Amino acid sequence: MRAELGELEREVLQAVWRSGQASADQVRQALRRPLKESTVRTVLGRLENKGYLAHRVEQRTFLYRAVKPPAHVAARAVQRVADWFCEGSVDAVLLGMVESKILSRRDLRRLVDKIEKDDSGEK
């Protein structure tokens, strides 16, 4: 899965996430800007080629669904930022977020709780 997405690709992917699955026409109607259905189909195809979407055919209509949930795609984007700016260190990104007051004490507590829960084998 490649992380780089253009603005329109992100909008289309978000529309698919919101609906769970959608046809090109349903995505077109969900977008904030007027586009031709052929343009939306092209973007959907690009997102599928990049590994973000998959489709099935129902009565000759392509129905698209996201391959990964938003949090997984965001995590990959954070890894890419870490690679670009912090020599791959996600720790450095997180520390920067704490120092910049982007992550609160509550956010950090939830992260620690999640890590401890996962380490203990709980689901």
Band of the pLDDT at 13, cuts 50, 70, 90?
very high
pLDDT at 120: 78
pLDDT at 11: 96
DSSP 3-state of 110: helix
pLDDT at 122: 65
d(CA 24, CA 27): 5
Band of the pLDDT at 4, cuts 50, 70, 90?
confident
- The full set of domain ranges for the chain reads 7-66, 70-119
**Residue 3 reports pLDDT greater than 70:** no
CA 18 to chain centre: 12
Quick one: average pLDDT of 58-80? Answer: 93
Could you tell me if 69 and 17 are in contact, meaning their C-beta atoms sit under 8 angstroms apart? yes
The pTM score is 0.79
Band of the pLDDT at 1, cuts 50, 70, 90?
low
Average per-residue pLDDT for the chain: 92
Predicted confidence (pLDDT) per residue in 91-115, tens digit:
999 999 999 999 998 998 998 999 8
How buried is 30 (Cβ within 10 angstroms: 0-12 exposed, 13-18 middle, 19+ buried)? middle
- Amino acid, single-letter form, for residue 85: F
Quick one: average pLDDT of 21-43? Answer: 95
> At the top level of CATH, which class does the domain 7-66 belong to?
mainly alpha
Bigger pLDDT: 64 or 73? Answer: 64
Residue from 7, 3, 12, 9 nearest 76 by CA: 3
Could you tell me if 1 and 68 are in contact, meaning their C-beta atoms sit under 8 angstroms apart? yes
